[in-house]
Structure 1
Amino acid sequence: MQDFIAAAEAAADAAGAVIRPLFRSRLLVEAKGDNSPVTEADKEAERTIRALLAERFPTHGLLGEEFGTERGDAEYVWVIDPIDGTRAFVTGRPMFGTLIGLLHHGRPVLGLMDQPVTGERWIGVPGQGLTFRGPLGGEAGTRPCASLAEAELSCTSPYMFTDDEAPRFARVRDAARRVTWGGDCFGFGLLALGLVDVVVESDLKTWDWAPIAPIVEAAGGRMTDWDGNPLRVGCPGQVIAVGDAALLPGIMALLRD
């Protein structure tokens, strides 16, 4: 595992060197098929990550947001989101991150989230604890919170839910102590530092959740789909992350159709 962690860190370092000079610069923003912004930073950062990982592990697969899948049936598959939170990136807000995960037979076994502007980095291996480094401070590990009424809830956007999902999410929102909007991967990172208690989102792709799940679980939390099942490649992307597992049954009951 140490070789995998070292490779993920080297890839994140190389991607950060691409991303930082472009942050808060005037970028040519293209329109992707889903109308989300993609910049030259996304593309070049993913190229850089893929090249480094392919050189070190030529038999491993690669799955990335920008350039698709290579060797997807390999025993080990790296999952890459070069800039998760591109909207924040293109508007100059440092609420984004580079995500690098590793699947073994489809199961997440390593996750790294790097914020190349603030210099914060989360590395999670389930069963081995969370490593967090950053100049702004923060303590790795989730916090106890047995009641949703006392919980800080984070969600990227109220518009990410379908017409069927929106009222179900609203029940969770209304039961929580407070809701903070925005953040993309950053909300999960704050949960892993014990600053947020719950994240509920939908329509996440594999590259959104696969690098995050090991971080949440290494920090002492749980991350499942809306029915409490482990997340798997091909799942619909309905995600619950909790710092305290005692919150999970109540949240699932509120989300039940």
Structure 2
Amino acid sequence: MSTSQYLETALAAARAAEVVIRRYWEQGVNVTLKADASPVTQADVEAEQAIRKVILGRFPEHGFYGEETGTTRADAEFIWLIDPIDGTKSFIRRTPFFSTQIALLHRGKLIVGVSNAPMYGELAWAERGQGAYVNERRVQVGGIEALADAAISLGNIKTLAGTPGWAALGEIVGSVNRTRGYGDFCHYHMLAAGQLDLVIESDLNILDVAALSVIVEEAGGTFTQLDGAPIDLATTSVLAAGSAVLHAEVLGRLGS
């Protein structure tokens, strides 16, 4: 297992954030609302500060795009994409379905991804060409190709309701072997490990899934937006599958 300087830095930053998160998990934290009415806590802010300190301490020339502290050096060759607590609502309600997401973008291509879910007990990571790992075990997608054999997990599908895609999604759900809604980091970890075959999700942004896309793809999966377009900084939806064949079938059923 080869660990580059960038992956090692991402892992160190995730561990620094975990120290902050565990402290607030034990002592509790006050909640405030952002302008978009989404919640934020002091744990979010301090965890991102801890991540920023590790990353920019080693690579001060790199760009940084953080959920809580914004963007610096947006024109840099390397840009770090950070969500210190993806799943703040879960964190607030003391359920373990939240994680720290750290990804590295190099000239428009995501090359490193770390997803740490400390209270769930999983640390996943990947870098291009080196495979994907969950808790130091190399993982691989299941490779299921037939929709009838597939297990699907859905997340944040509210925006699909009332659109033409809603009917298509209903047909897909009616065709699979098993349907669940694990959400957040969890169903992407499971997809990478071959425990799920398909993830459909909307109402998200690139900071939620940048790292996870690297992990799923390095595990052998296919990861795009719902319309089949590549993941980019404007991403708001995901269609991820454990095989290219399954991905193509679902994409065709969803249409536009």
1:172-218: CA deviations, max 9, x gaps? Answer: 32322222124212211111111111111123212112111110011
* Residue 177 of structure 2 is aligned to residue 181 of structure 1: no
Q: Residues 145 and 243 of structure 1 are in contact (CA less than 8 Å); yes or no, is this contact kept in structure 2?
A: yes
Q: Residues 141 and 194 of structure 2 are in contact (CA less than 8 Å); yes or no, is this contact kept in structure 1?
A: yes
The SS at the match of 1:112 is strand
The range that moved more, 225-234 or 122-131, is 225-234
Q: Distance in 2 between matches of 1:40 and 1:172?
A: 40
Task: Quote how far apart the aligned CAs of 1:10 are.
Answer: 0.7
The SS at the match of 1:210 is helix
Report the aligned-residue RMSD: 1.9
Q: Distance in 2 between matches of 1:34 and 1:155?
A: 23
Q: Which residue of 2 aligns with 1:50?
A: 52
Task: Quote how far apart the aligned CAs of 1:246 are.
Answer: 1.4
Q: Distance in 2 between matches of 1:42 and 1:154?
A: 26
Q: Residues 7 and 127 of structure 2 are in contact (CA less than 8 Å); yes or no, is this contact kept in structure 1?
A: no
Number of residue pairs matched? 253
Q: Which residue of 2 aligns with 1:254?
A: 253
The SS at the match of 2:139 is coil
> TM-score when scaled to structure 2?
0.92
Unaligned 5+ segments in structure 2 are none
Q: Residues 160 and 201 of structure 1 are in contact (CA less than 8 Å); yes or no, is this contact kept in structure 2?
A: no
1:123-174: CA deviations, max 9, x gaps? Answer: 112321112217xxx7611112111122111122332536324334333323
Identity %: 38
Q: Which amino acid aligns with 1:154?
A: S
1:204-243: CA deviations, max 9, x gaps? Answer: 21211211111001111110122323212224x2211111
Q: Distance in 2 between matches of 1:158 and 1:232?
A: 20
Q: Distance in 2 between matches of 1:161 and 1:47?
A: 35
Task: Quote how far apart the aligned CAs of 1:42 are.
Answer: 0.9
Q: Distance in 2 between matches of 1:8 and 1:127?
A: 17
Unaligned 5+ segments in structure 1 are none
Match of 2:72 among 70, 73, 87: 70
**Structure 1 residues 1-257: aligned runs within 5 Å:** 2-23=4-25, 25-133=27-135, 140-161=139-160, 163-164=162-163, 165-235=165-235, 237-257=236-256
Displaced runs of 4+ in structure 1, greater than 6 A? Answer: none
